[in-house]
Structure 1
C-alpha cells in the first residue's frame, strides 16, 4: 500500500500538470540588494529581510521535488467528494501561480522596509523569467549610504519623576550616535523604557506614550532623534504607585462577586473566603506582592506564573484598581480558579520497550491535585502488562544444538504500583529562603513496587523509595536533587537460569539480591523554548550508591569487603558505585520547519569497594529506537564481543560500564502533518574490567573509533502536535564484532528484514531526541 501511494505521488511529478493555460507555476525567486556605496555591511541581512516579504511563497520543495504539489497533481479531481478529493484537499498543495503574485505590491513593501532601515532613497524593481510554464522572479533593490544618527535628545525638561527615571536609562539606550537609522530599534527603545518604568511603579504607563521625532534636514545623510512623552498623556500614567491591600480569592469561579464577609486576614493579606481549599501559609510562598511595596511588573509576572504552576489551580489572574482613599496606591486582586481536584484514568496501550519486549498493557492512575490543602499532587499508578520477545538479537527458531526454553517466544508478565507526592515548595529541616523564580519548586516523595516474571527464567521483586527536590532558577536551567534513593531488588531464578548465570560470573553478580542506597543529582540546560536558529540541550547526571553506608560500616569496625564476603544490610549485599552520564544535543533550525539535530551521549560507571560490577539496572546499552537504530535494542557490544548463539536466543541484553553514542539527523516536512528524516547513528558500550565470557569487551581508548557500530536510514513521522508516531528504518553500515578489515557491511545489505545485514524497523512514540 505505501509503495502504491509513492508511485502515485511520483506520477504527479509533472509540476505544471494542473497549471491553467496562459499562466505559470511560481517556482522560485531571488532578492538582491545592490549597495556599492553602503558602508553598513547589511546587504546579506537586508536580502533575508526583504525575501521574507514575498507573498505568496512558492510551493515547498526539497531537492527540487515538491511533495505537496506532487500529491495534489497525482490525486487531482474536479469532484468535491470522494477519496481522491479528500487526499488532494488534506495532503496536497495546489500550485502557486504567477498570476497570484503582485510584483508591484511586493516591491512597494520592500521599499518601505528599506526606508525603515535608513535607506530613504532606494529603488526596487523586478524581472520575471518563464520557462516551460515555470516562472522565477528576481527582485533587485538599489541603495546608497544609509542615513545615520547624529545625536539623540530626550526632551525631559520638567521636574516630574517619570522624566528623571527615563533620563537615568539613557546609557542603556538601543539607539547610539553613528549607527544607521532603524525604525525597529526605535520601537525596541520604547518597549525598553516602558519595561523599566513598569518595574519602578508606573503601572499605567505604556510604550504608546513615547514619541520619536526625526529631523532629516541636518544634512550629510544624518538625522537628529528627539524623544518625548505625549502632551496628552494622563497624569495617572506619569506617577509611580505602591501596593495597598492584596485580596486573594482562593476558590474563585467566573461570575463570583467579591465579598469580604468571609475574609481571613493572614500576614497582612485578605484571604477569601477561607482555608477550606488551600491553606494560606502554603499559598503565600508563591505571592510576591507586599503591602506598601512599589508596584513592579516583575513581581506581578512572578506571582501569576507561580500560581499557574500549582496543581490545585487551572487559572490565575491578577488585576489592580486604584485605591479609593489614596490616589497613589493600588489594590491588588488575585483570582484563582480551582482545577478538577480528583481524577481517575484507565489507559490500554501496546507496550514496546527498549529491550524488544512488546505486548498489551493496562494502566490505571488516580490523581488528587490538592491532597493535603497545600496544592500537593498525589498520584497512584498501577500497571499490568504481558509482553513477549523473540530472541535477544535474532528471530525465529534457535539453531540446531542450541537449547531454547519454553515457548517459541520469551514471555514476561509485569505488575507495578507507584505512589508519588509532589509538594509545591521545598520541605527541608533547614530554613531556606523562598526562591524568587516563576517556576514552582517541588519536593518529591515516591514509593513503589514492581514484580517482573520472565517465564522459565526468573522472577524479580523490586522496591523503591525516593525523596528529592526539583527547582528551576530561570527558564534555562533545571536542577534535580534526590538525596535519598533507595531500591531493593530480589531475584528468584529457575534452575536453567541459574546454570546460565554460573557460567557467567560477572553477569551473576549483577543479578544478586542487593540494595541500591544512594543519591542522584541532575542538571539540565535548554534554550529550546526560544525561537532561535541555534538551540542547545544538555543533561548531566551523577548517580552515587553505597558510599555513606560503607563509610558507616567502616567506622563501626566492620571487616573490609571482599568478593566472597561483601558487606551487607538486612542479609543482602549493597551496591557501591559512581556513575556519570551526559546527554548533549544541538539543534540547527533551517527555515520554518526543517532541522538538523546532532546528539552526543557519553557515560561511565565505576563499581568499587563493596561491588565488582554495576547493578544490571544501572548498566549502559546501545541499539534500539532511541539509540543506534540499525541494530536491535540492547544488542550491540560490549566492544567487539559477538553474541554466541547460546545467548542470542535467550533473554540476555548486552550491557557495559562505558557508553559512547553519536547521532546526526536531518528533519524536514513532507506534506501536512507528515514529516521525514534521514539519519546516521554510531555508538558502542565497553567494560572497565576484563570479562572472560565477553572477550573483546574491555575498553581500550585507542580502539574507540574502530569499534563503533554505525547505521544509517530514513524515517517517517506523523506529527499532529500533541503526539508523534515515528517509523524509522535502520540500515547497518559497520558492525564492530567482525574482523578489523571486514566491519563495513553496507555493500552486503540484503534489503530485507531478516538475516545478516538486514533492515530494522523501529516503531515508537515521540522523536528520538
Structure 2
C-alpha cells in the first residue's frame, strides 16, 4: 500500500494554478465560441412517455431506454459546465500536430451542433423500440427549442395499453428427440402469460433453449434455428407466440452427441505436429506426448470431459476455466471433431500452451510508509510456474528497504519543553518470503474434486524478516503458514489457514529503548519475544463481478485466533496457571493467546454514467486472554491514512480521546504508532466522471480505535488515558474528516489524489473538537489539509 506522502508545499503556492483552472472552465462553459452563425449548440434533451391508459407502469423505464437512442449526445457537462468543450475551445488549433492539437483532441471535445441531430431518424428508432416492448400503436413527436446559440430537444412518446402475451406454444410434431427435449424445457420459459409483449424476452427464450440443449449433447445446435411467429388477431390486445424449428436445419444439429476419445496435448505450441503416436493412456485419456511437463494425475483434476458422456457446454466451460487457471499454461483451447468410426460421437482435443516456466523480476522503488518512514527499496522476485510438475507456483521474494523518518506523525507538535525527535530516525529491513501455491487441495483426507470453475488452492508459506531501528532495537521475525482457498461459486470465497505460525524476537535493544520498555508496561508487553500459534478463517462475498448491477455488495469476515489450543492442552496436562509476569511458554518462549474478529462491509450504488456512491462499514475487535494481557503489536488495530480517514495521517488517531502529543515520553510521541484493540470506521464517497480518464470524488470518513481495558504502568499511572471504550460516549469520540479527490483511472491502473479536511479531532478538549472553523489552507501544521497520494481506490 502506498501511504500518504509527506507534503511541504503550501496552498498559496498553487493558488494561481487553481485559479487558472477555474477561469479555464468558466470561460468555456458557455461553449458557443465556435458555433456557426446559422447553427446552435445542442445542450440537452428530454424524453417523456405519455401513457394515460398504460397499466404496465413502465413509463420511467421506457423513458430511460428511449433516451439511450439519442445520437449524438450533448457535450459532457457537470454542474452546468462543459469542461471538455472548454478545453477544446481554449486550445483550438487548425494544426494537426503539436501540444495544443494533442490537448484539443485527447482532452477536449468539439461542440455538438443541433444540425447534427436527425430528429426524424431518432423518432423512428424510438417508435421501433416501443413496438418491441408491446406498444404496437405509438407516436413519437419532437420539438426543438432554440434560445440564442443554444438548443434543446423535447421528445414525447404517446402510447396506450401494451399488448400482452396470452400463451406460448411449441409447434413441434416431429418424432426426433430434439423436439421432446425442447418441449421438456417449456416449464422454464421466460415468456410468461399476462406480461407485456417483449421482443427481448423472445430472443432470450431462444438463447435459453439453446443453452439447455447444449448441455444435452446438441453440439451443432444454435439459437437461430428457432423461429417465432406472433398472432395479434386474438383480440383484447393479446398475442399468441408460436415457436418452431426452421424447415431447413442440418440433420447434425438435431441429434445429441457423446464424447468418445479425449486427447490432451499437454505441451502444445502453434506449429506443432498433431501426431498422436507418442501417447500415454492414463485412465482412458490420451495424454500427449509425455509427463515431462505436467503430470497427468494432477492435470486431470481440471478435466470434466468424460468418455461416453453426453457433450455438455457446462462441462466444456468448466474444463476451460479450470485449466486456464493453472499457472503452468498461458493458453487453453478445446476443439471437437466427429469421430470417424462411430456416428453421433465426438472426439475432444484439448490444447495446452505452456507459459514461461521461470521468471526473475527486479523492482526498485521509493516507498513512503504509514509511519512516515520513507526511503529506497528493492525487491527481487523469482517465480517457477511448474515447480513440482503439477503446475505449482513457487515464489521467492528478497526484499530490502532503507528508511528514515522525513516528517511529523500528523498528531500535532511536541509537548512544551520537549525536543522534536522526529529527525534522524532511520532503519533498514531485509527479508525473504517463500510461498508454494498448489492448484488443488492437499490434505491427509481424500476429498472429492469440486465441480467449480474456480481452482481450489493450497498455499504453503515460509519467511524471515530482519528489522533494524538503528536508535532503538533489532528484531527478527519468522512466519510459516499452511492454508486452503476455494470458491464454490463466483460470489463466495473461503480461505482457511489451519496453521498460522509467527515468532517475533528482539535480538538487540539500546539502553534508551530499554528504559522506555521499563516505564511503559503496554509497550513492553507488545514487544515481548513471543509465538503466535493459531488458525485463521476468512469468508468473502461479492457480486461486483456482475458489472451491470445497480446495487453491488462486498463483505469480508475474518476470524483469527492464537494460543487457544496450546493453552487448553497445557491445562489438561496440569501446567501451572499463567500469570501476568509469568506466562506459559513453548520452547522456553511465551506465546500469544487471543481471539480477533473483523468485518468489512461495502455497498455500492451505481447510477448515471459511471457515477457511484460507495460506502463502507468496518468493525473489528481483538481480545487477549489466558496467557496474554495484550494483543501482539502486529494484530492491533490502527486508523487514519489514504485508505481510511483521509483527513488524518496514517495511524495517528486514538485510541479514544488519547492525545499522544501530551505523553510524558518524547520517544512515544516521535516514534510509535497509535494502536488499539477495537476499531470502528465508516466511509461514504461520491464518485463521478470528469473528462476522459479523469474521475472526481467527494468523501466523508469517520472512525476511531479504542482499548478494551485500561493499562496501568508500574508507577500507577494509566497508560494512554482516555483510550478505553465506553459505550455511552463512543459516538462523541469519532474522528471525522471530509474532502475531495481526483483520480486518473485508465482501467488497469488508478492513480489517486485525495485532499482530506479535518472536521472533528477526538483528542482535542471538549468544546474544541470541531476544528473546521480553524482550517488552515495548507499542508503543514495542525488543522491543515492532508494530501494523500495512492494507487487504487480506497475501498
Report TM bin, short chain: over 0.9
Alpha-carbon shift at residue 353 of structure 1 (Å): 2.0
Contact 1:391/1:651 (<8 A) preserved: no
Matched, 1:601 2:618: yes
**Whole-Å Cα distance in 2 between the matches of residues 325 and 680 of structure 1?**
70
The residue that corresponds to 2:4 in the other structure is none
**Whole-Å Cα distance in 2 between the matches of residues 73 and 22 of structure 1?**
19
The residue that corresponds to 1:362 in the other structure is 378
Worse-matched range after superposition: 87-96 or 471-480: 87-96
Secondary structure at 1:109 match in 2: helix
The residue that corresponds to 1:210 in the other structure is 226
The 5 Å alignment of 1:642-721 reads 642-645=659-662, 646=666, 649-691=669-711, 692-721=718-747
Secondary structure at 1:554 match in 2: helix
**Whole-Å Cα distance in 1 between the matches of residues 670 and 626 of structure 2?**
32
Q: 1:754 aligns with which of 780, 783, 789?
A: 780
Q: 1:94 aligns with which of 89, 97, 110?
A: 110
**Whole-Å Cα distance in 2 between the matches of residues 409 and 14 of structure 1?**
54
The residue that corresponds to 2:440 in the other structure is 425
Secondary structure at 1:114 match in 2: helix
Distance 1:25 1:409, change over 3 A: farther
Alpha-carbon shift at residue 395 of structure 1 (Å): 8.6
Contact 1:308/1:314 (<8 A) preserved: yes
**Whole-Å Cα distance in 2 between the matches of residues 224 and 561 of structure 1?**
80
**Whole-Å Cα distance in 2 between the matches of residues 442 and 102 of structure 1?**
57
**Whole-Å Cα distance in 2 between the matches of residues 395 and 620 of structure 1?**
17
Alpha-carbon shift at residue 175 of structure 1 (Å): 0.8
**Whole-Å Cα distance in 1 between the matches of residues 439 and 574 of structure 2?**
42
Deviation sequence 1:638-689 (CA, Å, 0-9, x none) = 0111112525742111000000001111111211222111100001000001
Q: 1:729 aligns with which of 730, 736, 755?
A: 755
Matched, 1:539 2:556: yes
The residue that corresponds to 2:464 in the other structure is 449
The residue that corresponds to 1:622 in the other structure is 639
The 5 Å alignment of 1:103-182 reads 103-182=119-198
Contact 2:411/2:660 (<8 A) preserved: no
Contact 1:674/1:716 (<8 A) preserved: yes
**Whole-Å Cα distance in 2 between the matches of residues 724 and 707 of structure 1?**
33
Alpha-carbon shift at residue 161 of structure 1 (Å): 1.1
Alpha-carbon shift at residue 388 of structure 1 (Å): 2.2
The residue that corresponds to 2:10 in the other structure is none
Distance 1:404 1:568, change over 3 A: farther
Alpha-carbon shift at residue 84 of structure 1 (Å): 2.1
Alpha-carbon shift at residue 355 of structure 1 (Å): 2.5
Matched, 1:293 2:313: no
Worse-matched range after superposition: 182-191 or 231-240: 231-240
Worse-matched range after superposition: 623-632 or 76-85: 76-85
The higher relative CO (CA closer than 8 Å, separation ≥ 6) is in 2
Contact 1:392/1:649 (<8 A) preserved: no
Alpha-carbon shift at residue 366 of structure 1 (Å): 0.5
Alpha-carbon shift at residue 475 of structure 1 (Å): 0.8
Secondary structure at 1:284 match in 2: helix
Secondary structure at 1:307 match in 2: helix
Matched, 1:555 2:572: yes
**Whole-Å Cα distance in 1 between the matches of residues 658 and 669 of structure 2?**
16
The residue that corresponds to 1:25 in the other structure is 41
Worse-matched range after superposition: 526-535 or 498-507: 498-507
**Whole-Å Cα distance in 2 between the matches of residues 404 and 615 of structure 1?**
28
Matched, 1:39 2:59: no
Alpha-carbon shift at residue 392 of structure 1 (Å): 5.5
The 5 Å alignment of 1:285-324 reads 285-324=301-340
Q: RMSD of the TM alignment (CA)?
A: 1.5
Alpha-carbon shift at residue 460 of structure 1 (Å): 1.6
The residue that corresponds to 2:3 in the other structure is none
Deviation sequence 1:481-538 (CA, Å, 0-9, x none) = 1100000001232211222222221121011111100011100011111021111111
Structure 1 unaligned regions, length at least 5? none
Alpha-carbon shift at residue 5 of structure 1 (Å): 4.1
**TM-score if structure 2 supplies the norm length?**
0.95
Contact 2:324/2:331 (<8 A) preserved: yes
Matched, 1:475 2:490: yes
**Whole-Å Cα distance in 1 between the matches of residues 389 and 23 of structure 2?**
61
Alpha-carbon shift at residue 726 of structure 1 (Å): 1.0
**Whole-Å Cα distance in 1 between the matches of residues 544 and 82 of structure 2?**
29
Alpha-carbon shift at residue 57 of structure 1 (Å): 1.0
Alpha-carbon shift at residue 152 of structure 1 (Å): 1.5
**Whole-Å Cα distance in 2 between the matches of residues 596 and 493 of structure 1?**
49
The residue that corresponds to 1:579 in the other structure is 596
**Whole-Å Cα distance in 2 between the matches of residues 148 and 397 of structure 1?**
73
Alpha-carbon shift at residue 404 of structure 1 (Å): 5.0
Q: 2:356 aligns with which of 329, 333, 340?
A: 340
The residue that corresponds to 1:226 in the other structure is 242
The residue that corresponds to 1:488 in the other structure is 503
Alpha-carbon shift at residue 248 of structure 1 (Å): 0.3
Worse-matched range after superposition: 674-683 or 214-223: 214-223
Alpha-carbon shift at residue 397 of structure 1 (Å): 8.4
The residue that corresponds to 1:349 in the other structure is 365
Alpha-carbon shift at residue 150 of structure 1 (Å): 1.9
Q: 2:657 aligns with which of 640, 647, 661?
A: 640
Worse-matched range after superposition: 655-664 or 670-679: 670-679
Secondary structure at 2:84 match in 1: helix
Contact 1:175/1:186 (<8 A) preserved: yes
**Whole-Å Cα distance in 1 between the matches of residues 120 and 404 of structure 2?**
66
Alpha-carbon shift at residue 725 of structure 1 (Å): 1.2
**Whole-Å Cα distance in 2 between the matches of residues 380 and 516 of structure 1?**
23
Deviation sequence 1:202-259 (CA, Å, 0-9, x none) = 1111111111111122222221110101111111111111111000000011122311
**Whole-Å Cα distance in 1 between the matches of residues 275 and 441 of structure 2?**
33
Structure 2 unaligned regions, length at least 5? 1-13, 712-717
The 5 Å alignment of 1:732-747 reads 732-747=758-773
Deviation sequence 1:62-90 (CA, Å, 0-9, x none) = 22122212222222223333322222222
**TM-score if structure 1 supplies the norm length?**
0.98
Q: 1:410 aligns with which of 402, 408, 425?
A: 425
Contact 1:390/1:396 (<8 A) preserved: no
Secondary structure at 2:397 match in 1: strand
**Whole-Å Cα distance in 2 between the matches of residues 404 and 742 of structure 1?**
25
Q: 1:631 aligns with which of 625, 635, 648?
A: 648
Worse-matched range after superposition: 667-676 or 275-284: 667-676
Deviation sequence 1:260-292 (CA, Å, 0-9, x none) = 111100000000010011000000000001111
The residue that corresponds to 1:612 in the other structure is 629
Contact 2:411/2:661 (<8 A) preserved: no
**Whole-Å Cα distance in 1 between the matches of residues 456 and 24 of structure 2?**
54
The residue that corresponds to 1:591 in the other structure is 608
Deviation sequence 1:81-127 (CA, Å, 0-9, x none) = 33222222221122111111111111010000001011111110111
Deviation sequence 1:590-633 (CA, Å, 0-9, x none) = 22311110011000000000000100000000110000000111
**Whole-Å Cα distance in 2 between the matches of residues 586 and 60 of structure 1?**
27
Contact 2:412/2:782 (<8 A) preserved: no
Contact 2:414/2:661 (<8 A) preserved: no
Secondary structure at 2:538 match in 1: strand
**Whole-Å Cα distance in 1 between the matches of residues 498 and 523 of structure 2?**
28
The residue that corresponds to 1:460 in the other structure is 475
Secondary structure at 2:106 match in 1: helix
Alpha-carbon shift at residue 403 of structure 1 (Å): 4.5
**Whole-Å Cα distance in 2 between the matches of residues 290 and 433 of structure 1?**
16
**Whole-Å Cα distance in 2 between the matches of residues 359 and 332 of structure 1?**
56
Alpha-carbon shift at residue 59 of structure 1 (Å): 1.5
Matched, 1:436 2:451: yes
